[in-house]
């Protein structure tokens, strides 16, 4: 049977190659769309610690200032193991396009809430003792050629009390991840104390509180308890899991997932028509050969199996190549899209869905030629030839 | 099996058709292509079937080769009633017992001569090297061992038909069915094919039934039957 299949692939090498390329490009596109869709869904593969983290924001205007004193009250809520807070702002190095995501955090608690982040002990010690010191991701350090010990100016829109907007910081260490943690590659941790003492406005406030609970099952109870604490305060708070927060943020930007799914469906349907038409044509031009094979004693089911196997091989061969290319392309896209959306990855689920779609595509595209072959009248086909 | 039974089997014709009728529907009309046909072909015979177009020759060949079934009647070949076999069983039967030679050769264009000849052996349990060995033996028999690696497009019509004959005999079938084997060839190439068929019949004992329009080709057979309007006869219709 393999000989018969191989025989047809060699019949018209140009057509075989073009068909494989069409399927490959379709699944390259499909793989990338699935990855981008995943990024917008906010469903990142989480470390164990990430499933235990919760986020508290200003209920009326998310990411608007809240008193830093809220942290002490949140820490007393039963179920909260640790709490930290942060003020995030956009910075840049040397020119505006060199983006740096700045997080002003309290050095004493940030790694308690983020146990999936690690810093070399000597670097951590140096950072704790350095008021203007920062920790950066290795990617960021590599991107801008920073080394530990470098003094670098970071521009931002946050004004100092003296009117300046440049924050001179020292690279004290690198932030690494463990336990499969997903962490934006553009981040920089600076001391909250340094920001708060030096900035011209919003002193004593933060954008976000981040809590670590003991068990994922506690998240609902803890979120209600935290928000209840500030029900009569101004501002009120809204506490949720970090993942849910991310999904909400993406939903606010429009239903990107639905649009990407729609595009992926259109890609699939167009490919179905292309492969279906090609396979129908190749089967039709070989009807007299199939008739000869039947006359020689090949069974109906064998010949039909050859036709279906050819379609499956084209779809799987082209599709898997496309998926492999998509994997590498997504790797490259992760750096490009890191500022806009994290979690652009090819998940195991996407791979399974893609392979299932390749098989469905093959069966749908192959069903008409297979039926035509099954119903072939040897007598008529030989007579027609 | 007793000695008497073996003797009886030997005496039976290889091909035995009894009261074979074939009806086709053409729109609302029913056409009787074969009319209560009886035919007995002894083992080792070389029979030519002649007749005008539409007389039912090809239908008869299709029925003999298990490509079509009679509407009524019995088709017994080598003691096996094939008219009762299922489609799948008929495929297996064809692979073991019938060698087809077509007017237009019907070689697969992407395969070499040797691969074309080895095609029917794919249905056997023979190993790859053994299939190749047998294909080469068949090609040698038809005088084309030096063209084994050539594709059909690189062969002449006569050579293509020789490859077709090699493919038909490679499984050592019970019967060879040839449909106008020289119909697409010039006289010289046609004669070479007919000589080859004669050789297969006389030297190798192959039973051959050949449909032809050509009296010259029919003359090479041991006997000729004439088909006219679905009826077989010893003499052509006046």
Q: What pLDDT score was predicted for residue A225?
A: 93
What residue in A sits closest to B90 (Cα-Cα)? A297
Q: What pLDDT score was predicted for residue B183?
A: 86
Q: What pLDDT score was predicted for residue B181?
A: 92
Q: pLDDT tens across B87-109, in order?
A: 899 999 999 999 999 988 999 98
State residue B112 phi and psi, 5-degree precision: -75, 170
Q: What pLDDT score was predicted for residue A275?
A: 83
Distance CA A92, CA A71 (A): 29
Q: What pLDDT score was predicted for residue A47?
A: 63
Distance CA B111, CA B107 (A): 8
* Burial status of residue A147 (CB atoms within 10 A of its CB: 0-12, 13-18, 19 or more): exposed
Q: What pLDDT score was predicted for residue B4?
A: 43
ipTM of the complex: 0.88
Which of A1, A286, A295 should we substitute to test contact with B (largest number of B Cβ atoms within 10 Å)?
A295
Distance CA A197, CA A361 (A): 62
Distance CA B32, CA B25 (A): 9
Q: What pLDDT score was predicted for residue B5?
A: 45
Asked if A23 and A324 count as a contact pair (C-beta separation under 8 A), the reply is no
Whether residue A299 lies within 8 A of chain B, CB to CB, comes out as yes
Q: Distance (Å) from the C-alpha of residue B149 to the closest C-alpha of chain A? A: 15
Q: What pLDDT score was predicted for residue A184?
A: 61
Read off the DSSP letter of residue B85.
-
Asked if A198 and A161 count as a contact pair (C-beta separation under 8 A), the reply is yes
Q: What pLDDT score was predicted for residue B2?
A: 46
B108·A382 Cβ contact <8 A: no
Beta bridge partners of A209: A56, A85
Instruction: Give residue B3's pLDDT band: very low, low, confident or very high (50, 70, 90).
Output: very low
Asked if B212 and B182 count as a contact pair (C-beta separation under 8 A), the reply is yes
Q: CA-CA distances (angstroms) from residue A76 to A70, A71, A215? A: 10, 9, 17
Q: What pLDDT score was predicted for residue A333?
A: 79
Could you tell me the mean pLDDT of each successive run of 10 residues in chain A, 385 residues long?
76 85 90 83 63 89 91 93 92 87 92 89 94 91 91 90 89 82 72 92 92 85 92 91 64 69 83 84 85 92 90 92 92 69 79 91 89 85 68
Of B140, B209, B134, B130, the closest CA to residue B171 belongs to: B134
Q: Distance (Å) from the C-alpha of residue A280 to the closest C-alpha of chain B? A: 19
Distance CA A71, CA A82 (A): 10
Q: Which residue would you say has higher pLDDT here, B113 or A345? A: B113
Q: pLDDT tens across A241-291, in order?
A: 766 666 666 665 557 777 878 888 888 888 888 888 888 888 888 888 899
Distance CA A264, CA A285 (A): 32
Mean pLDDT over the full length of chain B: 89
Whether residue A294 lies within 8 A of chain B, CB to CB, comes out as yes
A298·B91 Cβ contact <8 A: yes
In terms of DSSP bridges, do strands A208-213 and A166-174 run parallel, antiparallel, or are they unpaired?
Answer: unpaired
Whether residue B45 lies within 8 A of chain A, CB to CB, comes out as no
Residue B1: pLDDT above 50?
Answer: no
**pTM greater than 0.95:** no
């Amino acid at each position: 049977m393999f000989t018969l299949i191989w025989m047809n692939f060699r019949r018209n090498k140009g057509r075989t190659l073009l068909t494989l390329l069409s399927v490959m490009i379709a699944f390259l596109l499909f793989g990338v769309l699935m990855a981008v869709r995943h990024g917008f869904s906010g469903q990142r593969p989480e470390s164990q610690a990430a499933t235990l983290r919760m986020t508290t924001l200003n209920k009326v205007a998310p990411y608007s200032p809240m008193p830093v004193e809220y942290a002490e009250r949140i820490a007393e809520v039963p179920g909260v193991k640790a709490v930290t807070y942060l003020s995030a702002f956009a910075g840049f190095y040397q020119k505006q396009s060199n983006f740096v995501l700045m997080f002003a955090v309290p050095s004493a608690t940030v790694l308690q809430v983020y146990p999936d982040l690690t810093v070399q002990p000597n670097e951590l010690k140096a950072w704790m003792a350095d008021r203007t010191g920062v920790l950066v991701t290795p990617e960021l350090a590599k991107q801008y050629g920073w080394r530990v010990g470098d003094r670098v100016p970071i521009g931002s829109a946050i004004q100092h009390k003296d009117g300046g907007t440049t924050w001179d910081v020292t690279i004290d260490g690198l932030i690494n991840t463990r336990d499969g943690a997903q962490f934006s590659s553009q981040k920089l941790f600076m001391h909250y104390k340094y920001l708060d003492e030096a900035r011209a406005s919003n002193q004593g406030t933060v954008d976000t509180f981040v809590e670590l609970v003991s068990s994922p099952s506690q998240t609902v109870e803890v979120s209600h308890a935290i928000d209840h604490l500030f029900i009569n305060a101004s501002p009120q708070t809204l506490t949720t899991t970090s993942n849910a927060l991310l999904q909400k943020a993406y939903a606010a930007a429009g239903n990107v997932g639905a649009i990407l799914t729609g595009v992926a469906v259109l890609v699939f349907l167009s490919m179905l028509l292309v492969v279906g038409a090609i396979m129908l044509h190749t089967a039709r031009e070989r009807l007299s050969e199939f008739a000869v094979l039947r006359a020689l004693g090949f069974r109906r089911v064998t010949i039909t199996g050859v036709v279906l196997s050819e379609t499956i091989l084209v779809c799987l061969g082209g599709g898997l190549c496309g998926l492999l290319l998509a994997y590498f392309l997504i790797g490259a896209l992760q750096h490009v899209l890191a500022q806009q959306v994290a979690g652009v990855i090819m998940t195991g689920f996407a791979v399974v869905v893609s392979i299932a779609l390749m098989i469905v595509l093959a069966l749908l595209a192959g069903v008409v030629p297979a039926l035509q072959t099954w119903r072939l009248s040897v007598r008529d086909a030989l007579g027609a030839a | 099996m007793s000695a008497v039974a073996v003797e009886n089997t030997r005496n039976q014709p290889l091909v035995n058709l009894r009261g074979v009728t074939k009806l086709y529907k053409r729109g609302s009309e029913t056409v009787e292509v074969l009319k209560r046909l009886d035919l007995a072909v002894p083992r080792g015979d070389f029979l030519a079937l002649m007749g005008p177009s539409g007389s039912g020759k090809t239908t008869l060949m299709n029925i003999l080769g298990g490509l079509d079934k009679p509407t009524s009647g019995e088709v017994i070949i080598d003691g096996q009633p094939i008219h009762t076999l299922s489609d799948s069983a008929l495929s297996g039967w064809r692979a073991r017992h019938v060698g087809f030679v077509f007017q237009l050769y019907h070689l697969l264009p992407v395969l070499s001569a040797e691969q074309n000849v080895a095609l029917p052996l794919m249905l056997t349990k023979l190993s790859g090297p053994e299939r190749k060995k047998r294909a080469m033996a068949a090609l040698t028999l038809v005088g084309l061992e030096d063209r084994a690696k050539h594709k059909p497009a690189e062969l002449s019509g006569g050579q293509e038909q020789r490859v077709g004959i090699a493919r038909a005999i490679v499984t050592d079938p019970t019967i060879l069915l040839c449909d106008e084997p020289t119909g697409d060839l010039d006289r010289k190439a046609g004669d070479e094919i007919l000589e080859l068929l004669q050789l297969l019949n006389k030297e190798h004992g192959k039973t051959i039934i050949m449909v032809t329009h050509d009296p010259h080709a029919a003359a090479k057979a041991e006997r000729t039957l004439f088909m006219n309007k679905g009826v077989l006869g010893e003499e052509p219709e006046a």
